[in-house]
Amino acid sequence: MHWDWRVQKELKCLGSQLRLVPPPSLCRTQVALWDPPKEPRAMEEVDKILIHSLRLLGTEVPEEVQCVGDFSTELIVEAVVCCLRVIDPMLGIGLSPSLPPGMSARFRLGTRLAQACQVLGAPGDVGYQTFLYSTEPEIRRLLLFLVEKLPRDEAEDPGHPHGKSAVLLRALATCIQEQLETPWVPPACRSPWLQRLQGSNLQTPFQAQPLVLPQDKGSKERREYFQVLLPPVPQQLPPCPGPAPSLMEAHTAQLTAKLPSQDQTWGLGGNRLRQPVPAGGGMPPLRCRLLEQLRQACTPLGGRLPPAPGAPDLTRLLGSFGAGGGLGGPTLTKGSRFTRAQRLAHQQGPETLSEQMQVAAESLASSKTSEQEVQARQEEELGALWAELGQLEAEIAGLGGEVKTLELGLVQMETDASQRRQALGSREWSLRLKRRTVELLPDADSNLAKLQLVVESSAQRILALAGQWELHRRPLLDECRRLKGLRDTRQLESSRRLQDIKALHEWHRSAATEAQHKEELYQQLVLELEGLPRAVSRAAYTHRILEIVSNIRKQKEEIKRVLSDTRGLQKEINGLTGKLERTFAVTDELIFKDAKRDESVRKAYKYLAALHENCSQLIQTIEDAGSIHREIRDLEEQIESESGAKMPASLERILGDLRALRQENAGLAARTHEA
Amino acid sequence: MAEPETQLLLGVGLIEKDTNGDALWVWCFPSTTTELRDLLLRKCCLTNENKLLHTFLFGQYKRTWFYITTMEVQDSPVLKKVTHFSIVLTAKDFNPEKYAAFTRILCRIYLKYGSPVKMMESYIAVLTKGICQSEENGSFLSKDFDARKAYLAGSIKDIVSQFGMEMVILYTALMLKKRIVVYHPRIEAIQEFTRTLPALVWHRQDWSILHSYVHLDDDELEALKTCPGYIAGFTDPEVSNRPDLYDVYVNLADSEITVSPLVKEPMTMGKLHKEIGQLIVQSAEDPDKSDSQVIKDISLKTKEILSTLASFTEASDDAAAEQMLKI
């Protein structure tokens, strides 16, 4: 499957060049303008590329075969079957690449190949004869078609992919390759990189859980507990880390507990910390000493005073202080982990709890009587307080009710007051009015007139002022409206611009993505280029392609020139014909007029008519001759192509095959007879 | 009630909606506060988003009555940039008919001259003389509009026919000075309905409890809450979710009356209520009786109850009524 699509491209290019046969309507001289020596060379090119691609497909084309014309029937069949298998494996099923010896089998194979080709849409008439009695152009066309049909995805070199996903796949492949090449290393010896590569699950952290181990000493209940209720060690642990670390730790703890120096260090004081604490691991000596001093300071205090509920709290505080050191940071030392485990055991284990209770009970026992007294006193006090509370609550409730009623009264008073205030205001006003009225009353008539005058004049003044104000107001209002209108239009414009900008942004973005795509494509192509086999000389190909392109350009120019020539000629012919007809019409009319009067002119008219007729016949004949020439040329071309098909030779071969077939048939018939 | 106009009229204002779509408070006389201006801008239908035009609106805010008449301007040579305008009149008294007529005259003047000065002439004339000439024939005489007429303008028979025996709930609520909220999407319907309700307690002659056009706006609700009992009209259906605002909720669109659970106990109906309800319905169904006669009947009945109560106690009439109605 080492087929390269570049080859396909070139094939297409060459094929299109080959199809540029000059149109038959052009005359011979124009055909001569084509570059005849280039054509075989182009054919050679095509054949070379074809053979190269067929070899890539796995067809064994012998070295001496240089062009399609040299292909034997076997080779053709093999090449076609190879191509078919690559294009569509379903079509290729049951087609043997080697030619069978039997004649009928050969025909069958030929027919099936032809059918497969037709299914793929092969151009022209494809039949068994195409393969068995091949002609060079037909085979070339067929092979070209098949090679173009080769699937591109399949044809791509897996080592040098072109798609994004393909690049990813390649990266994956290289990665896997690399990983496969690295040797396996035992977990302990792995560097971080190797851990990532080969896993680090074996290096789980050392996680130990506190274990409760049965002991022979202790109280009866404890022993009973150990015998009956204590689950076996594996069941005490969560399944995840496994029992080994916990067991190891428990063992270490037991060992360290037996050391006498530790006993001396931790044997002080009768509290719960007397149990084996593995301090050897990591409790810093400073903190140990600190703890010790605190404990010493605490113990005598507990002895002298009646045991307040704060005392056990203090010991707990000490315990938590010891444990808190272990929670200090991520770098957990072994000892601190032990301490934490112990704290957990204190909080959770029922057995340790009971132990703690015992310790507390021991320390409390000495002052039991005083406690009872205190309790009685407390109860008394509590009762008194309860009674007081009840009394206060009742008082509060009573006061609340009072407050409520007072509030209601206040609201009522307030509304009343406000109403009265309003009434007062209006009354004061009316009083003032009435006072003024009373003042004015003595001279009622004149005063009334005066007042009316005053009202009148003030109304006039107000109106005048309003008029003046209007003079200011109107322009300001108009200005305001104008500015608002302006603002609206500006807003409209700005929104339009905003839209424009958005569109531009959009375009910009799309352009950027396009550029990115192009960049990617470029990268791909670069990759591809790097991956291309250097065997095919690229420069030669380019050179040839350029040559071909220039040829095509030249030919195009020629065709254009010829076409314009033809058009010119056609124009001239048309002009001449028109002129002739007009001239004839005028002459005809002139002479016809005179022909009625003059006998000689009549004769002349007859001659003229004859002349015209003969001339048109002549033209017709020339045109006919031209078309016949064309036909002849077509026929010659056909003959040429037919003679290229090696008709007599293939006829002989066909006859031979026919004979062989008949013999086979006869043999078969005889066999049936015998049977 | 025959107070001079000077004591009743508070001011006049002008709101214009221009071609830019802005509603502007463009002119007023003599003055106004920012609070009132914002309120009136909100009330006037020009700032509405739905662009529904109401030719005449009225309402009350802190004992100031406002009357708004709105007109559309079409091809006026003097008001080129204006599409609509509203004349806002503020006054101390409740008299929609009077002020509707007056504002209409003012609107015509403004539409004709395009200048507030002309409008102001008429306003001053009414203020000082109680009379002004209309642009068309006839003149506006403020004496023609009696306050009693305004009180009787609503049709009590219509609302009785709509609510039937449930009228007694409204009657009781009004007697006990409860808070009534009326909802209808159309403001005209609310105004027509609410202005009729105070007639049920005719003996008080108190229309100041009427707030026929209220928005769910903080200032307005605050002002409303200072009143002990009121009739408030809302066009916003959201009001049904504000039980703090009402004791009785009237959904006028669906003819439903809801009594808030908080006042269920004082609003418990008894034999007396049934009696009153029957009286109201009977009186309203009588085709021979006019609206004013129906109101008279109800008023007589109320007075009868009150006099009965007065013989029991010397307390204020409302408290007594409350006691009586609880029986």
> What's the pLDDT tens digit per position in A589-637?
888 888 777 888 888 888 888 988 998 899 899 999 999 999 999 999 9
**In this model, does residue A348 exceed pLDDT 80?**
no
Domain boundary residue, one of B145, B165, B196: B145
B120 touches chain A (CB under 8 A): yes
Structure tokens at A357: 């209770």
Asked, for residue A44, whether it belongs to a domain, the answer is yes
Residue A640's contacts (CB-CB under 8 Å, 6 or more residues apart) are none
Tell me the pLDDT of chain A averaged across its residues.
Answer: 77
Angle at B139 between CA B137 and CA B142, to 5 degrees: 160
Compute the Cα dihedral for B158, B160, B164, B169 and give only its sign: positive
Asked, for residue B305, whether it belongs to a domain, the answer is yes
**In this model, does residue A651 exceed pLDDT 70?**
yes
What's residue A313's pLDDT?
47
Same-domain status, B75 and B113: yes
d(CA B253, CA B248): 15
Asked, for residue B43, whether it belongs to a domain, the answer is yes
What's residue B313's pLDDT?
66
What's residue A281's pLDDT?
43
Q: How far is CA B267 from CA A143, A167, A506, in A?
A: 104, 85, 68
B124 touches chain A (CB under 8 A): yes
Total count of residues recorded for chain A: 675
- What amino acid is encoded at A662 in this protein? R
For residue B22, which residues of chain A lie inside 8 Å, CB to CB? 481, 484
Q: Which residue of B has its CA nearest to A476?
A: B26
Strands across the sheet containing B210-214:
B210-214, B230-234, B179-183, B248-251, B256-259
CA nearest neighbour of A186 among A207, A174, A202, A167? A202
d(CA B21, CA A491): 14
Cross-chain CB nearest to B115 (options A459, A470, A480) = A470
Asked, for residue A282, whether it belongs to a domain, the answer is no
Cross-chain CB nearest to B124 (options A463, A478, A488) = A463
Instruction: Note whether B26 contacts A473, CB cutoff 8 Å.
Output: yes
A491 touches chain B (CB under 8 A): no
Question: Hey, which of A257-266, A420-429, B30-39 has the most confident mean pLDDT?
Answer: A420-429
A253: number of CA atoms within 13 Å, CB side?
24
> Which is more confidently placed, A137 or A551?
A551
For residue A485, which residues of chain B lie inside 8 Å, CB to CB? 19-20
B315 touches chain A (CB under 8 A): no
Instruction: Note whether A478 contacts B81, CB cutoff 8 Å.
Output: yes
Q: What is the CATH number of the domain that holds B218?
A: 3.40.50.11500
> Which is more confidently placed, A208 or A9?
A208
Q: Answer whether A524's CB lies under 8 Å from A162's CB.
A: yes
| ipTM exceeding 0.90, yes/no | no
Same-domain status, B56 and B128: yes
Domain boundary residue, one of A151, A170, A195: A151
Same-domain status, B114 and B172: no
What's residue A274's pLDDT?
42
Query: Per-residue confidence of chain B (327 residues) as pLDDT tens digits?
Result: 445 556 788 899 999 888 888 888 989 888 888 888 888 888 888 877 666 788 898 999 888 999 999 988 888 888 888 888 999 999 988 888 889 888 988 998 898 888 888 888 888 888 888 888 777 767 888 788 888 888 888 888 888 888 888 888 888 888 888 899 999 988 888 988 998 888 888 888 888 888 988 888 888 888 888 888 899 999 888 888 888 888 899 998 888 898 988 888 878 888 888 888 888 888 888 888 888 888 888 888 888 888 888 887 655 555 555 555 544
d(CA A501, CA A522): 30
A4: number of CA atoms within 13 Å, CB side?
15
Q: What is the CATH number of the domain that holds B58?
A: 3.30.450
Partners of B68 in the β-ladder: B57, B88
Cross-chain CB nearest to B121 (options A415, A463, A473) = A463
Instruction: Note whether B81 contacts A463, CB cutoff 8 Å.
Output: no
Q: Answer whether B185's CB lies under 8 Å from B235's CB.
A: yes
**In this model, does residue A324 exceed pLDDT 50?**
no
Same-domain status, B235 and B320: yes
**In this model, does residue A315 exceed pLDDT 70?**
no
> Which is more confidently placed, A649 or B223?
B223
Domain boundary residue, one of B96, B125, B145: B145
Peptide bond into B30 cis (omega under 30): yes
What's residue A524's pLDDT?
93
Disruptive mutation site among A421, A452, A458, A484 for chain B (greatest number of B CBs within 10 Å): A484
Q: How far is CA A158 from CA A147, A168, A169, in A?
A: 19, 12, 10
Q: How confident is the model at residue A115 (pLDDT cuts 50, 70, 90)?
A: confident
SS3 at position B171: helix
Strands B64-72 and B56-61: antiparallel
d(CA B226, CA A122): 97
Q: How far is CA B262 from CA A357, A521, A638, in A?
A: 59, 78, 113
Burial annotation A132-143 (CB, 10 A radius, 16+ → b, else e): bbbbbbbbbbbb
Same-domain status, B141 and B163: no
Query: DSSP states of B98-162 as a string?
Result: HHHHHHHHHHHHHHHH--HHHHHHHHHHHHHHSEEE-SSSSEEEGGGS-HHHHHH-S-HHHHHHH
Cross-chain CB nearest to B128 (options A455, A467, A477) = A455
Q: How far is CA A568 from CA A574, A575, A669, in A?
A: 10, 10, 71
Asked, for residue B319, whether it belongs to a domain, the answer is yes
Same-domain status, B194 and B320: yes
d(CA A317, CA A323): 10
Domain boundary residue, one of B98, B129, B145: B145
B319 touches chain A (CB under 8 A): no
Query: DSSP states of B72-104 as a string?
Result: E--S-SS-SSEEEEEEEEEESS--HHHHHHHHH
**In this model, does residue A18 exceed pLDDT 60?**
no
Instruction: Note whether A470 contacts B116, CB cutoff 8 Å.
Output: yes
Residue B217's contacts (CB-CB under 8 Å, 6 or more residues apart) are B39, B42
Q: What is the CATH number of the domain that holds A50?
A: 1.10.418
What's residue B89's pLDDT?
92
Same-domain status, B139 and B164: no
**In this model, does residue A563 exceed pLDDT 90?**
yes
Q: Answer whether B209's CB lies under 8 Å from B198's CB.
A: yes
Q: How far apart are the first and last CA of chain B?
A: 36
Number of compact structural domains in chain A? 2
d(CA B199, CA B207): 9
Helix axes A334-348, A243-258, angle to 10 degrees: 100
Total count of residues recorded for chain B: 327
Asked, for residue A587, whether it belongs to a domain, the answer is yes
Between residues 100 and 139 of chain A, which touch chain B (CB distance below 8 Å)? none
Partners of B65 in the β-ladder: B60, B91
- What amino acid is encoded at A555 in this protein? Q
DSSP 8-state code for residue B166: G
Instruction: Note whether B26 contacts A478, CB cutoff 8 Å.
Output: no
Place of tokens 């094929």: A15
Q: Where are the alpha helices (DSSP H) in A281-349?
A: 285-304, 310-326, 334-348
A471 touches chain B (CB under 8 A): no
d(CA A219, CA A217): 7
Domain boundary residue, one of A95, A122, A151: A151
What's residue A491's pLDDT?
93
DSSP 8-state code for residue B240: G
Number of compact structural domains in chain B? 2
DSSP 8-state code for residue A330: S
- What amino acid is encoded at A643 in this protein? S
Asked, for residue B4, whether it belongs to a domain, the answer is no
Structure tokens at A540: 């030669």
Instruction: Note whether B24 contacts A480, CB cutoff 8 Å.
Output: yes
Write the pLDDT tens digit of every residue in A149-204: 877 654 444 444 455 677 788 888 888 888 888 877 777 777 777 777 776 655 56
Q: What are φ and ψ of residue B213, in 5° steps?
A: -140, 95
Structure tokens at A604: 């002349």
Same-domain status, B311 and B274: yes
Same-domain status, B84 and B162: no
**In this model, does residue A233 exceed pLDDT 90?**
no
**In this model, does residue A311 exceed pLDDT 80?**
no
Residue A97's contacts (CB-CB under 8 Å, 6 or more residues apart) are A59, A77, A78, A81, A82
Same-domain status, B95 and B184: no
**Largest separation between any pair of C-alpha atoms in chain B:** 70
Same-domain status, B66 and B128: yes
CA nearest neighbour of B27 among B37, B42, B18, B19? B37
Residue B76's contacts (CB-CB under 8 Å, 6 or more residues apart) are B82, B111, B114
Q: What domain range includes position B319?
A: 153-326
> Which is more confidently placed, A457 or B6?
A457
Same-domain status, B220 and B278: yes
For the segment A556-584, the average pLDDT, to the nearest whole number, is: 93
A544: number of CA atoms within 13 Å, CB side?
20
Instruction: Note whether A470 contacts B117, CB cutoff 8 Å.
Output: yes
Q: What domain range includes position A627?
A: 544-642
d(CA A466, CA A53): 103
What's residue B206's pLDDT?
84
Partners of A420 in the β-ladder: none
Asked, for residue A143, whether it belongs to a domain, the answer is yes
**In this model, does residue A385 exceed pLDDT 90?**
yes
Question: Hey, which of A220-224, A256-260, B136-140 has the most confident mean pLDDT?
Answer: A220-224
Disruptive mutation site among A470, A471, A479 for chain B (greatest number of B CBs within 10 Å): A470
d(CA A464, CA A452): 18
Asked, for residue B3, whether it belongs to a domain, the answer is no
Asked, for residue B2, whether it belongs to a domain, the answer is no
What's residue A269's pLDDT?
41
What's residue A161's pLDDT?
43
Asked, for residue B1, whether it belongs to a domain, the answer is no
Asked, for residue A582, whether it belongs to a domain, the answer is yes
